[in-house]
Amino acid sequence: MAEDSEHSGPDDISALGDDEGRRLGRYRLIRKIGQGGMGTVFEAIQEDLDRRVAVKILPKMLVADREMIQRFRREAKAVARLNHPNIVVIYEFSQDHGFHFFSMELVEGRSLEDLLKEQGRLPVTQALGLIQQALQGLCHAWEQGIIHRDLKPANLLLARSGLLKIADFGLVKDVAAQSGMTLTGAGMGTPYYMAPEQGYAAKEVDLRADIYSLGATFYHLVTGRVPFEGSTPFEVAVKVATAPLPPVRSVNPDVPVALSTVIEKMLSRKPEGRYQNAQELLDAIRACGPGGTEDRKPILVETIVQPGRAVAAPAEVGGGLFDALGMQFALIPAGKFMMGSPQGEKGREENEGPRHQVTISRAFYLGVHEVTQEQWKSVMGTEPWNGQEYAKPGKTNAASYVSWNDATEFCKEFSQKTCKTVRLPTEAEWEYACRAGSKTRFSYGDDDDYSSLGDYAWYSMNAFHVGKKCALAVGQKKPNAWGLYDMHGNVCEWCADWCEDSYVNAEDKAPKGPASGIYRVLRGGGWNYNPMDCRSAAHGGFRPDYRNCVIGFRVSLDLK
């Protein structure tokens, strides 16, 4: 939008001062970032807290309309009650210079509308992850009696971190308040995504209207087109109310049958034909992991391995993409251990000391296996090992030629797709999990002559020197006492921390390493490493952008 449009028209923003000095209350306006029927949105600085925010201003031409102001205030109050990571936070409602406005969280990123303009349509797994995030936020709003009524790609903001945020509750209905307030067009959302009943019974709509709009958005994400097209809003509205829905798979045959069935049910013309509550929809969405329940190949069902025994996966981790990729996690309990190696340990390097007690204050999940090539490709769509020296394609081979930067991008992408916090383990978490309660050189014992190492690890003597010169299939060796495979050997594994030459300045509780550095930590040794470099305490690092044939990673998950 042209800059001069900010200084003219019904908003009359020029009355607030020049470009550098426009102010509303405690806020200095920087630039316009959006505009809708309920107001104009500016990036701003809240000067007393020196923080960047978004400020939404009600058009000044509507200020005389008490009903409009009441509606605008209602939006602010309703959304301010909501506290959820997938909903934009409201800070303050106020007025100044005759303008009514509220400040809110500034989301640095782009909308799903922008993403669609750029990509045309999204991969099914990406779309599924985004819709799951939106649904989490909506469920919270519905629990508070709040109906959005204007869900669409433009109101779903994707932060640079991968977190999706629901914005613009401009048509919000507060069921608990039951104000009964109506306004010309107040029930009307955006025709392409609006539930049919919003056109004739706006005051009666419930969460099923949001389910329809989310379904229309889902349809657009996976097909690249809206469910019903028309040259005018009226024509679109007529089609929404009367025309048959073009089947999802007729537009994009790559959408799994099970998932297309879910989307089409969300778009049922009559509310009673849709999912009737949040739990029904959540169950249906969760059942449609990548490939859909009907289209999946046999998969390894995820389990959580506790020290000494296997148990069923808890709901907070299981399902969806984790199951589809056969990803397993071990539940690592909180506890204390001695980090580093003692003086006199065979093979010890100086950077492994001083040995010190560390407290892991919270339990966490850690991948039972290193991330495989198939898992990497399914999430990222690339094959960094392809064509490289000392690399062999294999679905279950550990992914290699992965830099620390690459691994963290995988975690961000996977977090976005699964709505979980997927990350690299800290170095302390890694060594704690590797040791699994042991105090010896290796998780299974001291093994001074390395006679047992080959039972637990791929390393130079049973891999490189016998012609197996690449990252090998995960899970072929014995696990440690906590059910983790390949903690010694196969590929070196990235940790979250910056690397340092010693632990002299290390913290003793949930340490996260130094605040900065040149190298990121690598742990565990690899298929071409000497046996002493595969010990539990062996410690090294490389630049975050470094890739080679023996570097990979595994991921961790935080408990709720």
* Residue 20 one-letter amino acid: E
Alpha helices in 229-299 (DSSP H): 233-242, 248-251, 257-266, 278-286, 292-295
**Exposure string over 243-271, b if 16+ CB within 10 A, otherwise e:** eebeebbebbeebbebbbbbbbbbbbbeb
Sequence letter at residue 348: R
The pair of three-digit structure tokens given for residue 395, joined into one six-digit string: 């679905």
pLDDT of residue 478: 93
Q: What are the structure tokens assigned to 427, written together?
A: 């170095």
Number of Cβ within 10 Å of residue 447's Cβ equals 18
Q: How many domains does the chain divide into?
A: 3
**CATH code where residue 38 lies:** 3.30.200.20
Provide the CATH number for the domain around residue 380.
3.90.1580.10
Beta strands in 253-385 (DSSP E): 303-306, 309-312, 329-332, 335-339, 356-360, 364-367
The reported pLDDT for the residue numbered 323 is 55
All residue ranges of the chain with pLDDT < 70 are 1-21, 36-38, 60-65, 68, 71-72, 75-76, 161, 170-189, 201-203, 289-325, 560
At residue 543, the pLDDT reads 95
Predicted confidence at residue 291, as pLDDT, reads 33
pLDDT given at position 75: 64
How many CA atoms, within 13 angstroms, populate the side-chain half-sphere of residue 535? 25
3-state secondary structure at position 461: coil
What separation in angstroms does the CA of 168 have from each of 104, 153, 172, 334? Answer: 11, 11, 9, 41
Helix (H, G, I), strand (E, B), or coil: what is residue 405?
helix
Tell me which residue range forms the domain holding 33.
Answer: 3-105
Same domain for 500 and 368:
yes
Of 367, 382, 387, nearest in space to 484 by CA: 367
What pLDDT sits at residue 432?
Answer: 95
**Residues 70 and 118 occupy one common structural domain:** no
SS3 category, 140: helix
Which residue's entry shows tokens 């998969």? 299
The pLDDT value given to residue 40? 84
Q: How far apart are CA 9 and CA 13, in angstroms?
A: 9
Q: Are residues 289 and 329 in the same domain?
A: no
| Same domain as 128, residue 48 | no
| 89, 350, 365, 482, 529 from 344: Cα distances, Å | 55, 11, 33, 27, 21
The verdict on 150 and 63 lying in the same domain is: no
Contact between 173 and 186 (Cβ < 8 Å)? no
Q: Tell me what pLDDT residue 147 has.
A: 87
Told to judge if 150 belongs to the known catalytic residues of this protein, a careful annotator would answer yes
| 150, 174, 447, 533: the active-site residue | 150
* Together in a domain, 92 and 200: no
Q: Do 88 and 46 lie in a common domain?
A: yes
For every residue of 206-220, DSSP letters joined together read -HHHHHHHHHHHHHH
The pLDDT value recorded for residue 293 is 36
Is residue 43 domain-shared with residue 58, that is, in the same domain?
yes
Per-residue model confidence (pLDDT) at position 182: 33
Looking only at the bridges linking them, the beta strands covering 364-367 and 27-36 are unpaired
Q: What is the pTM of this model?
A: 0.52
Neighbours of 338 (CB within 10 A): 15
- The pLDDT score that the predictor gives to residue 231 is 87
Residues 211 and 94 occupy one common structural domain: no
| CATH number of residue 211's parent domain | 1.10.510.10
Would you call 505 exposed, middle or buried from its count of C-beta atoms within 10 A (0-12, 13-18, 19+)?
A: exposed
